[in-house]
Chains A and B, each alone.
Chain A
Amino acid sequence: MSERTPMIEMRNVSKHFGSVIALSDISMQVYSGEVMCLLGDNGAGKSTLIKTLSGVHQPTHGDMLLGGKPTRFKSPAYALDAGIATVFQDLAMIPLMSITRNFFMGREPTVGWGPFKRIDWKHADRIAKQEMAKIGIDVRDPSQPVGTLSGGERQCVAIARAVYFGAKVLILDEPTSALGVKQASVVLRYIAKARADGLAVIFITHNVHHAYPVADAFTLLARGSSLGTFRKEDISREEVLNMMAGGAELESLDAELAEFQRSDQEQKAAQGAGAPVSTPGAPPQAHAAGGH
């Protein structure tokens, strides 16, 4: 596994915004035909990381390698040309425009010459229909507005568009976060298909249950640094859940809640007895010990 060249690689990448260290010393490799799940709580640096990958931000330190070659993405357009397609949460979809118009937005196929150059609607409609059919969504009429599609279907249009235009690396920002169970499974299935087609997929999510079935590896981010990358075979779903920023904090939250409950009871007991309780219970170290 390690002798293969990663499709995209970050080496010790840091990103500073003034005095804020948004990312520090991140290293990550994503291979083609694999799904890398990027997990982390709010503020962990996921957004900064994908914006760095997609050329919106430039790293302050460190290197980015595409197919083993050092690269600098000066702009999103540059990254797009290099085959890195990012599906942001807003999907870059316009509800009032047709599926076909959205699908080919900015890259319209044309026929004809000079002033008679026009969009090849027949071809465009056929491709849009065909690409959607490939993922199991049968669009009868590609000229219907995207706004009439469900959230999952819209997500699929956005991904299908990225794949059709030759993405080698597909970055998906929380593609399943706003979706119901069925809708999410449509998207997850498509992610699995993109992987089978040999794309390197970076899948950002909060949801371990969505991440675990499709991922080959997990990178966990917390407070701007990486907690490490784990192959799926080396880590269980529960361990992933625990490691996600939630994990450690949830435990201490449990401990705190237990402490509240206990002091409430003590107060009640004290009022009931009409006499002060001699000690305020266990010292705070006990909670920390309980966490282990």
Chain B
Amino acid sequence: MKSNEATHSTAAAAGHQDERLRQVPLWKKALSRPELGALAGTVLVLAFFIVAASGTGMFTPAGILNFLEVAAQLGIIATAAALLMIGGEFDLSIGSMIGLAGILIAIPAVEYGWPLWAAILLAFSCAALVGWINGYLVNRTGLPSFIVTLGFLFILRGLAIGISRLLTGRTQIGGIHDHIPGDWFAALFSGEVATGLFSWMAAQGWIATNFAGNPVVTGIPVSIVWWLGLTAAATWVLLFTPYGNWIFASGGDANAARNSGVPVHRVKISLFMFTALSATVFACLQVMDTGSADTIRGLLKELEAIIAVVIGGALLTGGYGSAIGAALGALIFGLVQMGIFYTGVNTDWFQVFLGVMLLVAVLFNNFMRKKAMEAK
């Protein structure tokens, strides 16, 4: 009798569930993707500036590369911040790491005559160490990563200024451009790609040329390639690898993940290392581009990265989010920053817009999460 009862109720439950599943239309399923809000936001912002900034040059090849480059720089650190936030942690030391990494590249190369590749490797090694320490402290102390990395926000910034003053007596180091030519490693972080394609397009008359017949836009800045590459790699990791599943699990419920055999500590340490390394990539690109390092570089970048990630649909509490979302968040950031410049609106308003965007995104994400969790 008991088993009859059980069979009956299971069948009823199963039947009920089928009913409810059939009712879910495809568009509703798409709503459960974390990056949906960011996609809608991107389309909206893009549409707005296509109208508002028409005829200003924002959507010429040069203008497009302009806002893509802004988006790319932020996107590089936002990708790493997204993985970390999905893994349940924050890194507030990203911005300071950018400043420190720049100094670690510039001083050995300019002041001590190191080859640039060695200086870059030094910066990456130090970043890996900083990330490891961040992760280790969060794991061992059980303190919120907010506090631990807030500590490192000040420690790293202070180190950058202190080391720089101690060794050079300055906080700005220039003259890096002279060291770039011929350095195989620095080439990864400087210049443009697809220059041949752009010359060819200019020759075909498809894009604007200057008086000498050379294209105005000579190629795609390497930072954009880094951004797209990192976003693609992070998306692959999140969606298709066991490690990606561990990231979601660690952020969703670290204890449950541990009980299921996920190496939560290792996952978190590697994610903190990744954010520090991505900050160093950012620093490399910036140093190669401007030819100088400055101890105040990267100020507030950690918060901008968090904004991009949250606009991209990640939950601050972890366990949910996407790298594509973070890329779209960075794109919105770039569009608005350059769009405000092109439309001639006072750039003071940029921050107001950013704050509003953040609040709207968080509210929207909470709403979507509730929707996703609703009984089918």
Residues of A within 8 A of B (CB): 76-77, 80, 88, 90-97, 101, 104-108, 110, 117-119, 121, 135-141, 144-145, 147-148, 150, 152-153, 182, 185-186, 188-189, 192, 213
Contacts and interface: CB of A to CB of B under 8 A. Distances in A.
B191 interface: no
Contacts of B319: 94, 96-97
A97 B252 contact: yes
Given A150-B375, A153-B13, 16 more contacts: A76-B259, A92-B255, A92-B260, A95-B252, A96-B319, A97-B248, A104-B245, A105-B246, A105-B261, A107-B260, A110-B242, A138-B18, A144-B21, A144-B376, A150-B13, A152-B13
Contacts of A80: 261
Nearest to B256: A92
B10 A94 contact: no
A187 to B, nearest CB: 9
Contacts of A121: 240
Nearest to A138: B14
A91 B256 CA distance: 7
A91 B32 CA distance: 24
Contacts of B12: 182
Interface stretch (B1-9, B39-47, B76-84): B1-9
B133 interface: no
A95 B7 CA distance: 26
Nearest to A112: B240
A189 B248 contact: no
B241 interface: yes
Say what secondary structure dominates the interface of chain A: loop
A144 B9 CA distance: 22
Given A94-B249, A145-B373, A186 B241 contact: no
B372 A147 contact: yes
A110 B241 CA distance: 8
Interface string B312-343: 00010001100000000000000000000000
Nearest to A94: B252
B353 to A, nearest CB: 30
Nearest to B248: A97
Contacts of B3: 189, 192
A182 B373 contact: no
16 contacts: A96-B252, A96-B373, A97-B249, A105-B262, A106-B249, A117-B241, A136-B7, A136-B10, A137-B13, A140-B22, A145-B372, A147-B373, A148-B372, A148-B373, A148-B375, A186-B6
Interface residues of B, number: 43
B252 A148 contact: no
A108 B6 contact: no
Nearest to B14: A138
B253 A186 contact: no
Contacts of A152: 13
A213 B2 CA distance: 8
Q: Which one of B242, B244, B262 has the highest number of Cβ atoms from chain A below 10 Å of its Cβ? A: B242
B17 interface: yes
Given A106-B261, A185-B9, A189-B10, A90 B2 contact: no
B201 interface: no
B348 interface: no
Contacts of A107: 260-261
Nearest to A120: B240
A248 B185 CA distance: 79
A139 B249 CA distance: 21
B265 interface: no
Given A137-B14, A185-B9, A192-B3, A90 B255 contact: yes
A281 B372 CA distance: 65
A93 B9 contact: no
A261 to B, nearest CB: 39
B299 interface: no
Contacts of B5: 185
A96 B320 contact: yes
Contacts of B373: 95-96, 145, 147-148
Contacts of B245: 97, 101, 104-105, 108, 119
A130 to B, nearest CB: 14
B179 interface: no
Given A92-B259, A105-B260, A106-B249, A185 B6 contact: yes
